[in-house]
Structure 1
Amino acid sequence: MYTKTILAALLASTLMSSAALAQTVGPNGETATPSADVVLSDADIAALQGKGYKAALLWHTSSDFVNAVSAGAADEFARAGVEVVATTDAGFDAAKQRSDIETALVAGPNVILSLPVDPVTSAEAFRQAITDGVELVFLSNLPAGYVHGTDYAAIVTDDLYQMGKQAADTLAAAIGDKGTVGWIFHDADYYVTNQRDNAFKSVIESDYPNIEIVAEQGITDPARAEELASAMLLQNPDLNGIYVTWAEPADGVLSALRAAGNTETKIVTLDLSEPVALDMVRGGNVVGLVADEAYELGRAMAAAGLKGLLGEDVPAFIVAPALTVTAANVAEGWQQSLHRDAPASVLAK
């Protein structure tokens, strides 16, 4: 019995150490470099200005998040005297993204920022840009088979582990560091959400011994969130909290709780959204939204591309900070993440 107790303590200590040392890693296991370390110096700015350099922003979709990334990139390009000659929205359509790339290349960009819609299709779609000597900087995803320093300058993304960890810490604090929780994760092979979701789970399991994940549910279609949450709550009516993989399905989970007359189960989710933020500021089920610094993502992407253009070494994998937004700091959090005011309904409370 004594030996088992010692082994259990050692195991718990190891788990705690592993959680403390865990961090976001790139798609191929790359070590993360903080975005704050990727900065254009005065000498860089002087070397870039007046050269007629151009950039293109070829996005996967349109959203408040993408708008903030674009704003961060545009401001950094403007600081260096670089003209943005194209901004596109592929609507998550790989064929449309390929067409966007072909059209943008006609304008002769020296730097392209983009999120590849499909790893395989995108690998071929961006080949002409590489042939043309364009510096490619990717947001979160990487085309299949691409080699850092040869095919692209950098990948820039959120500090995914920290997003999951902050979600775990926020939910734990809301339920007094004890109780039972549900874990609604993205049931797809998607690098960004997988790291965030798994970080939440690992932190709960290693750092909060008095909290137990008693219900797990994968989700692929946000439209089914209410249905799946209702089933989870039917089997576990006394859940103290629920983690939801991102804000859109969290809105469905919130609807399920309201339909059940449940005002006690706490929700934490990732990314900023008006409906869930409104519930949060009104003292509802939602206790926290963990977001990325989207504007900073764009700034870092632009800086990485321009450093590559200057022939400087650029880290393969760059991460921007995560932040926790609660009712207490919603105005400041919205500005820090998206560089714009929170919706009027959220600010009005």
Structure 2
Amino acid sequence: MQMPRHRSAYAVAAVLVLAAFATACGDGSDTATGSGAGRKPAIGIDLPRSDSDFWDSYGKYLRNHISSDGVNALPLSSYQYDAANLDADVQVFENLGAKAIVMAPQNTAISSTLKRLEAKKIPVISVDTRPDKGDVYMVVRADNRAYGIKACEFLGKHLGGTGKVAELQGALDSVNGRDRSEAFAACMKTKFPKIQIFELATEWKGDVASAKLKKLLARNPDLNGIYMQAGGVFLEPTLTLLKQKGLLQPAGKAGHITIVSNDGDPQEFTAIRKGDIDATVSQPADLYAKYALYYAEAATAGKTFTPGATDHGSTIIKLANGLEDQLPAPLVTKANVDDKSLWGNDVG
């Protein structure tokens, strides 16, 4: 069967990266794969996408830590939310001698890739998402069910327990999309049963979110709440649509639509200050980068961890296929949006 054109181009690009990097390494003893004296073991790092402010910020933090901490990182790649690309990137890392791999699989069904890495004894650190199957050394993420609960409680309180809310869901084949959606729905059903929820599946795509929200507003012009599960991709198209329809009223003014987001990037903070949105849950891009590299280096050194409280304000929990370090993710409103400790106020 003929390989699709975009996959063929991607495979060629991966081979070229491998060849170029191997040439740059030469045949000296101090290679980038960490086999030479004085070099740390090599770490492969794959970014999920380049069309999100959140993931762009995560990439900046990674590069800063790689530089400041002397991490022996192979050239970073990005699989652009395509599972086939992710597997191709991982194979390149394997061929370059990676001793650990950091990835952020947005579609969490990557068991075949993880099984291959397990067989080769290459530990995996999964950032932001928890693969459904396949062993991982450590998952670095926050409690995503708490995201949905915090959004529910904020909206329920500010809407007085009644109204209509659009929920811009992430991909439901992702553990994050499922966790946020299930927790939000359960909280609303229990605590605010008079609020009508419109679940809009988006596959984490801003254009899909905007198109579905536009149709919903045409049928429900009295919509008074929105929960965006990913501000990094939903914020701009949502605010643009509301502005076009004359519905972007500042907080405190009649007709304002109460909006809660997830991510906590600088653009969301600006929107909170302006009154365009009301709150966001700060998903810690800075800590994701820091501890992804921390655990990757720990894995190459043969270190092990156990469930329980950590020394960095988080909790490690036991999974069926590994461990997960659940990092803190605070709710941000106008009251604390200028807090300098929030990564959205100090990106990279």
Q: TM-score, normalised by structure 1?
A: 0.68
Distance of 2:173 and 2:147 partners within structure 1: 18
Superposed CA deviations along residues 264-299 of structure 1, whole A, max 9, x for unmatched, are: 221112224566554432223x11122201111222
2:246 equivalent in structure 1: 261
Structure 1 residue 218 corresponds to structure 2 residue 209: no
Looking at structure 1, the residues matched to 283 and 144 of structure 2 have their Cα atoms a distance apart, in angstroms, of 9
| Structure with more contact order per residue of length (Cα contacts < 8 Å, sep ≥ 6) | 1
Alignment correspondent of 2:7: none
The 1:54/1:194 distance shift into structure 2, 3 A limit, reads same
In percent, how many aligned pairs have the same letter? 19
Partners of 1:208 and 1:119 lie apart in 2 by 31
Specify whether residues 64 and 314 from structure 1 end up closer, same or farther in structure 2 by C-alpha distance, changes over 3 A only.
farther
- For residues 68-87 of structure 1, the aligned pairs below 5 Å read 68-70=57-59, 72=61, 82-87=71-76
Cα displacement string for residues 119-147 of structure 1 (whole angstroms, at most 9, x for unaligned residues): 55x43335554344322111244556413
Residue 269 of structure 1 aligns to which amino acid in structure 2?
S
Partner of 1:340: 346
Task: Within 5 Å, give how 1:8-27 maps onto structure 2.
Answer: none
1:293-308 paired onto structure 2 within 5 Å? 293-308=284-299
Q: Deviations over 1:290-333 (max 9, x none)?
A: 22011112222223333333433335122221122334443437
| Distance in 2, Cα, partners of 1:276 & 1:64 | 10
Aligned to 1:5: none
Q: Which residue pairs with 2:177 in the alignment?
A: 193
Q: Which residue of 2 aligns with 1:330?
A: 337
Gaps of 5+ in 1: 1-48, 343-349
* Deviation at residue 192 of structure 1 after TM alignment: 0.5
Which SS does the other structure have where 1:314 is aligned?
A: coil
Q: Cα gap change, 1:280/1:89 in structure 2, threshold over 3 Å: closer, same or farther?
A: same
Contact 1:270 1:290 (8 Å CA) reproduced: yes
Find 1:130's aligned residue among 92, 115, 118: 118
Cross-structure match for 2:303: 312
Separation in 1 of the partners of 2:99 and 2:293? Answer: 11
Q: Which whole-Å deviations, capped at 9, do the CAs of 1:183-214 have from their partners, x for residues lacking one?
A: 324263321022112322323333446xx222
Deviations 1:33-92 (A, max 9, x none): xxxxxxxxxxxxxxxx95632212122223443344345556666777541123111122
Conserved? CA contact 1:268–1:288, under 8 Å: yes
Q: How does 1:143-162 map to 2 (within 5 A)?
A: 145-147=133-135, 152-162=136-146
Unaligned runs of 5+ in 2: 1-36, 250-254, 307-322
Q: Secondary structure at the match of 2:196?
A: strand
Q: Counterparts of 1:339 and 1:109 in 2: how far apart (Å)? A: 34
Residues in 1 aligned to 2:106 and 2:81: alpha-carbon distance in whole angstroms: 6
Match of 1:229 in 2: 213
The amino acid across from 1:198 in the alignment is E
In structure 2, how many angstroms separate the alpha carbons of the residues matched to 1:238 and 1:283?
19
Secondary structure in 2 aligned to 1:330? Answer: coil
The superposition leaves residues 3-59 of structure 1 with CA deviations (integer Å, 9 ceiling, x where unpaired) of xxxxxxxxxxxxxxxxxxxxxxxxxxxxxxxxxxxxxxxxxxxxxx95632212122
1:291 aligns with 2:282: yes
Shift of the 232–215 alpha-carbon distance from structure 1 to 2, 3 Å rule, reads farther
With normalisation by structure 2, the TM-score equals 0.68
User: Cα RMSD between the aligned structures?
Assistant: 3.3
Equivalent of residue 178 in structure 1, options 148, 161, 184: 161
Match of 1:322, SS state, is coil
